[in-house]
Amino acid sequence: MSEELLIKNGMIVTADKRGTVIPKGYVRVNGTRIAEVSEGEPKFTADTVIDASGCVIIPGLITAHTHLYGILLRGASLDIKPPTDFAQVLQRVWWPVDEALTVEDAYASALSAGADMLRNGSTLFADTYSGPNSIEGSLQEIARGTKEIGIRGILAFEMTERNDPQEAERGFQEGINFIESCRKEDLVSAMVSLHASFTVGDEIVTKAVEKARELDVPITVHTSEGLVDLYHNLEATGERTVERLDRLGVLGPKTVLAHCVHINEHEIDLIAKRRASVAHNPMSNMLNAVGVAPVLSMLAKGITVGLGNDGWIYDPFENMRCALTIHRLASGNPSAIGPEEIFRMATIEGAHCYGLGNELGSLEKRKLADIVILDGSRVPTPLTPESVVGHLINTFGGRDVRDVIVNGRVVVKGRHLTKTSDAHVSEVSRKSAEGLWSRLNRG
């Protein structure tokens, strides 16, 4: 018989289609799924009871695009010439990092970045790994770190031909082997990933698309993040980035395009027509000075948009705030987008990106039990059903995450990991980062 978990006395923000908020209620979990979401006092008990008095209960937040290994560069002082555009950021920072990564780094970064996201309220991430000298076995190690802390992950190896075609072929095979190996996993699943249109030829793109469809898994690709992608495609084929991807069959209902900063209205129409989704990474786009994705136009055309962090800031509340402000600034309209739309992007829309909207992204009966409990004691103004979503965007942060449940199991309790120790995560991460920094500065 499945164990039951009861979370009671909290304000529940369901993120369902109606935007239901329950002022004081409970969530009953049976095994891995939500059995009941209701108002009032429960008339029963359970194996585990969590008192959420003074707290807000929300669905686990969804990180629609990340690079776990980005955490290992946090605070690094690299001996490089400062980049002045996005192409140089790749050439001077990220591609050397990719080449210096080891399989051990892949594990350490999954453990560390996964823990960071989990402690900040994210219960699912979609990650693409890129390490040309650590391909074979990398996804299994990332999966190991992911399962060790208890977070959900959708994993892929990022295929690229920037060094040689064999590199892409090995990445393709690593990804396919991993897809086959994790079919019965609870927390870890897989997708197919292409780095970007400007680093892969038509042949590997077509092969990846065919395999993703054959295996019925999502496919993701960085799309016009920087102008280098757009200009490459225009020069090589006379097509804009999304036009080329569409010609090659990439766009479809199980496609997630990351970034989409430099796309025009025609490309937005193509994305909408093919029912592809977009993973928006506002903080990373600001960091790399690439521009502002036309998310308002995407939403107006009915495109599903989720929120990612692109391997930089792993607190989803910070990313939500940035998404709110960047589009108001870019549009010159302080009412261009509101907290409700942003919260949906971080929850149910992120789930829809990966075809998981019937399983995750809202607190509803029969959905998987991924739940976050936020301590409301620091909220400076009234916390009401009318104000709570505004507080989720404007007031709450990762520091307010008290407890996290993934797949019906408590994985963060009182701000601490339960499946492994915070000290262990830090020790593994720091040791890995020390070695990576040393290799980068020697190179």
Say if strands 371-375 and 401-406 run parallel, antiparallel, or are unpaired. antiparallel
For residue 149, which of 220, 219, 68 has the smallest C-alpha distance?
A: 68
Full set of structural domains in the chain with CATH: 4-59+361-416 (2.30.40.10), 61-353 (3.20.20.140)
- Could you state, in chain order, the average pLDDT of each consecutive group of 10 residues for the chain (443 residues)? 92 97 98 97 94 98 98 92 95 95 98 98 98 96 98 98 92 96 94 96 97 97 97 97 98 98 98 98 98 98 98 98 98 98 98 98 98 98 98 98 98 98 97 96 79
What pLDDT, on the 0 to 100 scale, is given for residue 152?
98
Closest to 7 (Cα-Cα) out of 68, 48, 66: 48
Please name the amino acid found at residue 74: R
pLDDT reported for residue 1: 64
How many residues make up the chain in this entry?
A: 443
